[in-house]
Amino acid sequence: EKNVYDVVVVGSGGAGFSAAITAHDAGASVVILEKMPTVGGNSLISGAEMAAAGSWVQQKLGIKDSVEQHFQDTMKGGDNLGDPAVVRAMVEGALPAALWCRDEIGVEFVEDNLFHFGGHSVKRSLIPKGATGSEFISKFMTAAEKRKIPIVTGMKAEELLRDADGRVTGVRAVMDGKDYVFEARRGTVLATGGFAANVDMRTKANPFYGAGFKTTNMPGAQGDGIVMAEKIGAAVANMDQIQTYPMCDPVSGAIELIDDARFEGAILINQEGRRFVEELERRDVMSKAILAQTGQYCYALFNQKVEDRAHAVQNHQDEVAVFSRTGILYKGETLKDVADHFKIPLDALEDTVKKVSSYAKTGKDLDFNYRGKFEDLTTGPYWIYRGVPSVHHTMGGLKINPKAQVLDAKGNPIPGLWAAGEVTGVTHGSNRLGSNAYADIIVFGRIAGEEAAKAEVK
């Protein structure tokens, strides 16, 4: 069966929706193919904070920031393995992308707070309502419906098709064992996400991150777009750069969204009741530190005062209910209660809490130089949860240029092919900073959609 569109978008995460909606608004006919039964990919289950320098919320809070500073943080946070031109396009596009999400798509952001993720020199991460990706994906769905953009779920792209000149002309896809061709008259956009859920591909890319780790990702994150594009000569970069999220459910590997509390003063402690790393460190540094502790796990501890600022329990009540049932999380009235529950030495825990509470007063953490604001932790109630690092993001992937064109081994764009989001590999270097993924997917999704829509019909 053959279907013809101007633009074919593969994948329905944040990158795919941004590409499809932008292509449509630029006048193109467009289709979204999604292999899973439901849309949203990892973008849906993400915390979905979005880094943007110079936002209206920063202005309201009186936070000074610049695109240049965001650029420096991103390059440095990834040990300079990102492509400077592509990173520049991302940080420059971040605020316009956030405004587009707010004003065109209807995404609601928290108006009086921002997150301060590790590696960012200032608070610059916009928080969507509810602090998860469902705010984005539900609004993207509505926007796509309004535009009558067809979304074909259960349709897996398997192969990029090309004409005699090597130009990509669409994809061959499969649904229920039956082949379909989706012809793209102007362009094909790969927005298939990363490969964190593909243990074999992870092991091949970097054996350390093989079967020994669980993943925070949806099962669809199998690296399909990378494999399909490599088959037709696309170049990849940074494939060995794999990120673990430091605090994940030891049972399922899923990210602990309640861990947002860490940005507002929750502390990390080991089984011995001691802190061992700055709670706002880079994810790679924190993960390494956790793996070096007894049992290769740690706990995060916070009290009502932190919750009043973080709203982590309030925002993630379902998760709290599940973790309470499985025993990952415990709510206790006193430190003794908490210590007894997880068999942490009480004297050490009291000592740690006393220190942190004194640092809250002076504003200076003498042990690990916490860059956020600590709270007095001497009074309950307390929440404590156990976490382990789990594979979260694959920084590597397809090489693109600032126009989101996929490049071949010689650095030339492959005609007819664009890519955006986690399928690409040149923005985050060795370590993606929290909330740079949402900037990445929306910025390059929009660029890919725009560019593909205006490409010449062949």
43, 74, 241, 303: which one binds ligand ADP (CB under 6 A):
43
Which residue among 19, 20, 42, 316 contacts ligand ADP (CB under 6 A)? 42
- By DSSP bridging, strand 30-34 and strand 267-269 are unpaired
Question: Given the complex with ligand ADP, which of 86 and 377 has the nearer CB atom?
Answer: 86
Q: Is 396 in the site for ligand ADP (CB under 6 A)?
A: no
Give the pairing of strands 151-153 and 30-34. parallel
Please tell me whether residue 41 binds ligand ADP under the rule CB under 6 A.
yes
- Of residues 15, 417, 439, 443, which one binds ligand ADP by CB under 6 A? 15
CB 214 within 8 A of CB 251: no
| Nearest CB to ligand ADP, comparing residues 14 and 250 | 14
How many angstroms separate the CA atoms of 76 and 81, rounded?
9
288, 118 contact by CB (below 8 A): no
Examine residue 428 and tell whether it contacts ligand ADP (CB under 6 A): no
327 torsion bin: left (phi>0), alpha (psi -120 to 50), beta (else) = left
**Of these residues, 88, 262, 283, 446, which one is catalytic?**
283
Shortest Å, Cβ 421 to ligand ADP? 2
Residue 156 vs 305, nearer CB to ligand ADP:
156
Of 195 and 263, nearer to ligand ADP (C-beta) is: 195
Query: Counting contacts by CB under 6 A, is residue 191 touching ligand ADP?
Result: yes
CA atoms within 13 A on the CB side of 60: 10
* Least separation in angstroms between CB 221 and ligand ADP: 5
Report d(CA 187, CA 76) in Å as an integer: 34
Work out which of 8, 9, 12, 356 binds ligand ADP, going by CB under 6 A: 12
Q: Are 403 and 315 in contact (CB under 8 A)?
A: no
| Nearer CB in complex with ligand ADP: 168/289 | 168
Q: Is the dihedral of CA 38, 257, 332, 323 positive or negative?
A: positive
Q: Is 11 in the site for ligand ADP (CB under 6 A)?
A: yes
Which token pair is 314? Answer: 């309030």
Taking CB under 6 A as the criterion, which residues in 21-40 touch ligand ADP?
A: 33-36
Applying CB under 6 A, does 216 fall inside the site for ligand ADP? no
Structure token digits, residue 171? 């994809």
161 binds ligand ADP (CB under 6 A): no
If binding is defined by CB under 6 A, does position 170 make contact with ligand ADP?
A: no
- Scanning 7-15, 303-311, 316-324, 363-371 for contacts with ligand ADP by CB under 6 A, the matching segment is 7-15
Member of 8, 9, 13, 238 binding ligand ADP (CB under 6 A):
13
Q: Containing H/E element for 452?
A: helix 436-454
Tell me whether residue 283 is one of the annotated catalytic residues: yes
Minimum Å gap between C-beta 78 and ligand ADP is 17
Query: Is residue 387 within the footprint of ligand ADP (CB under 6 A)?
Result: no
- Contacting ligand ADP within 118-157 (CB under 6 A): 156-157
Strands 242-248 and 382-394: antiparallel
Do 393 and 198 meet the contact criterion of CB atoms below 8 Å apart? no
DSSP annotation string for 126-137: E-BGGGSTHHHH
Interatomic CA distance for residues 130 and 421, integer angstroms:
22
CA distance 218 to 237: 23
In 3D space, the residue among 222, 185, 211, 217 whose CA is nearest the CA of residue 392 turns out to be 217
Residues lying near ligand ADP in the complex (CB under 6 A) are found at 10-16, 33-36, 41-43, 156-157, 191-193, 220-221, 224, 421-422, 441
By annotation, the residues acting in catalysis are 283
